[in-house]
């Protein structure tokens, strides 16, 4: 009577085990077909399918099916652990999965048939040992550097594999040390403790798919929220720039053009005498129009760059050659103020759009000339900076920079304009345009005030592969 009760209990546990694992697979399939998914979901589902198949195979053998059924059932259980690990790998990593792990399956099946029917201990050690290692590896995939905020979810997902690994290790250890555990070959069943452990592990497996899909959904939601915040921040910057540009256009562009129009009509067109007498006034008019033209040019170039419509084509270019071209362009300005421009020593090759790079360097030299005292000097330098980058520095001995100027000088329309040492005017857009050019080419543009008066501007470019032997 006691034996009948014990058998009834064991068979009940077997039936419950089959139903739980089959229900776990069904629950995951419902989630999958309702488009609740994650990277590795297909591998996870295949693993759950093999797991359910293996459990059914073990149950079938307990109910009297041929013993060979157990070989394929145990191989299915090993395969399920590998597939579940494959799904976890895809969920956690972008690296290729080590497919060589699947070679354990034919190896395990071959070893099963190499042993005679009486070598039950060897089969327990081999299959339980393999399952211990694979399940422990699966748990390590989940627990290795869990993402901040998802530690609890990672532990819950890993709990199933930890339980399977511990149970399998206990079974393999018992067989190895001569205490053969209750097994299907000799008694037609396993111990009640093993069935209970399998059922307990099944509940973790039941919610594994749900946990990972929920984590994936939350991660996607966080990424979407971050993208929205960044987009809003970008829109606020665009609105701020628009307001600043309207201010620039209204103040710095309207005034000189309006004055030039009035002066041309009233002082030139209606002037009854010789226009040569108005030469000084015409020169002033020309300067105002040149300033307005420069402002418009910078505005158009900056707007095209900021909108992404300006196409730059970086190519290997010599920094020394780019500096030389920029120096030629500003030579007349430097001569007018008796300024000496000291060229850089050495050379490096960088990736840059030549026209944009010369425009940047010309603007930096023009600023240096504008704010330098007559008779001084401006120095250019070329050097390697951080890994993979080289820079051109422009140092002047001028009026220097204040912290609030540095903070705002690269923001169009918010630059704190200061007259040059000879009263030269700026547009407030040149440096913003240069910074946009540099960022489009993959570089940076920075400024700092030198300790003994003056300023340093640094334009940093990505180094070209051809520059490995250059000197700087």
Is it the case that residue 348 has pLDDT exceeding 70? Answer: yes
The domain limits of the chain are: 2-228, 313-469
**Would you state the torsion angle of the CA atoms of residues 383, 385, 387, 389, taken in this order, to the nearest 10 degrees?**
-70
Exposed e or buried b per residue across 182-204, where buried means at least 16 C-beta atoms within 10 angstroms of its C-beta: bbbbeeebbeeebbebbbebbeb
Q: Are 447 and 416 in contact (CB under 8 A)?
A: no
One-character DSSP codes across 328-340: HHTHHHHHHTT-E
Q: What are phi and psi of 417, to 5 degrees?
A: -75, 135
Using CA atoms, how far residue 139 sits from 39, 88, 162, 413, 468, in Å, is 17, 9, 6, 57, 46
Number of C-beta neighbours around residue 388 at 10 A: 8
Tokens of 406: 């540095």
Strand-pair category, 377-384 with 444-449: unpaired
For residue 449, CA distances in Å to 64, 143, 204, 256, 342 come to: 88, 49, 62, 31, 19
- Give pLDDT tens digits for 253-312: 555 666 676 667 666 666 666 656 666 666 666 666 665 665 566 566 656 555 555 577
Write out pLDDT tens, residues 187-200.
555 655 665 566 66
Mean pLDDT value across residues 148-174: 81
CB atoms within 10 A of CB 220: 11
CB 127 within 8 A of CB 78: yes
Alpha carbon distances (Å) from 142 to 82, 83, 102, 347, 396: 14, 14, 19, 50, 57
CATH T-level fold of 313-469: Heat Shock Protein 90 (3.30.565)
The CATH code of the domain at 2-228 is 1.20.1070
The whole-chain average pLDDT of the chain stands at 77
Given pLDDT bands bounded at 50, 70 and 90, which one contains residue 2? very low
CB of 222 closer than 8 Å to CB of 159: no
Regarding predicted confidence, which is higher, 63 or 394?
394
Residue 89: burial class (beta carbons within 10 Å; 0-12, 13-18, 19+): buried
Q: Which of 49-53, 103-107, 448-452 has the lowest mean pLDDT?
A: 448-452
pLDDT at 145: 78
Quickly state the pLDDT bin for 341 (edges 50, 70, 90). very high
More confident residue, 323 or 118: 323
């Amino acid at each position: 009577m006691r034996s009948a009760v014990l058998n009834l209990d064991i068979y009940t546990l077997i039936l419950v085990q089959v139903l739980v694992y089959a229900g776990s697979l069904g629950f995951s399939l419902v989630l999958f077909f309702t488009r609740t998914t994650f990277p590795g979901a297909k591998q996870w589902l295949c693993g759950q399918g093999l797991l359910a198949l293996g459990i059914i195979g073990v149950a079938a053998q307990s109910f009297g099916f041929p013993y060979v059924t157990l070989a394929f059932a145990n191989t299915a259980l090993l395969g399920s652990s590998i597939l579940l690990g494959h799904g976890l790998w895809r969920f956690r990593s972008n690296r290729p999965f080590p497919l060589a792990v699947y070679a354990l399956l034919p190896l395990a099946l071959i070893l099963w048939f190499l042993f005679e029917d009486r070598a039950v201990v060897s089969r327990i050690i081999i299959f339980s040992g393999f399952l211990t290692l694979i399940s422990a590896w699966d748990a390590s995939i989940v627990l290795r550097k869990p993402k901040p905020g998802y530690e609890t979810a990672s532990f819950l997902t890993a709990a199933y594999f930890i339980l399977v690994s511990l149970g399998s290790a206990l079974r393999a250890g018992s067989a190895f040390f001569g205490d053969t555990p209750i097994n299907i070959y000799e008694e037609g069943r396993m111990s009640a403790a093993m069935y209970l452990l399998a059922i307990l592990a099944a509940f973790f497996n039941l919610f594994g798919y749900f946990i990972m899909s929920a984590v994936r959904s939350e991660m996607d939601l966080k990424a979407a929220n971050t993208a929205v915040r960044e987009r809003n921040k970008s829109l606020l910057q665009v609105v701020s720039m628009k307001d600043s540009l309207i201010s620039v256009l209204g103040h710095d562009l309207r005034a000189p053009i309006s004055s030039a129009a009035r002066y041309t009509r009233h002082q030139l067109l209606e002037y009854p005498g010789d226009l040569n007498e108005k030469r000084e006034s015409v020169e002033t008019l020309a300067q105002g129009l040149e300033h307005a033209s420069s402002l418009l040019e910078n505005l158009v170039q900056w707007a095209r760059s900021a909108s992404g419509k300006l196409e730059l084509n970086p190519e290997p270019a010599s920094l020394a050659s780019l500096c030389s071209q920029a120096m030629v362009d500003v030579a007349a300005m430097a001569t007018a103020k008796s300024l000496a421009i000291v060229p850089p020593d050495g050379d490096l090759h960088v990736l840059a759009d030549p026209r944009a790079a010369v425009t940047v360097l010309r603007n930096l030299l023009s600023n240096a000339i504008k704010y330098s005292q007559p008779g001084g000097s401006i120095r250019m330098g070329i050097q390697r900076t951080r890994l993979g980058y080289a820079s051109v520095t422009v140092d002047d001995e001028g009026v220097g920079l204040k912290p609030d100027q540095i903070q705002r000088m690269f923001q169009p329309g918010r630059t704190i304009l200061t007259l040059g040492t000879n009263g030269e005017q700026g547009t407030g857009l040149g440096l913003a345009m240069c910074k946009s050019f540099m960022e489009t080419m993959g570089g940076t543009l920075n400024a700092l005030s030198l300790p003994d008066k003056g300023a340093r501007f640094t334009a940093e470019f990505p180094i070209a592969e051809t520059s490995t032997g250059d000197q700087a």
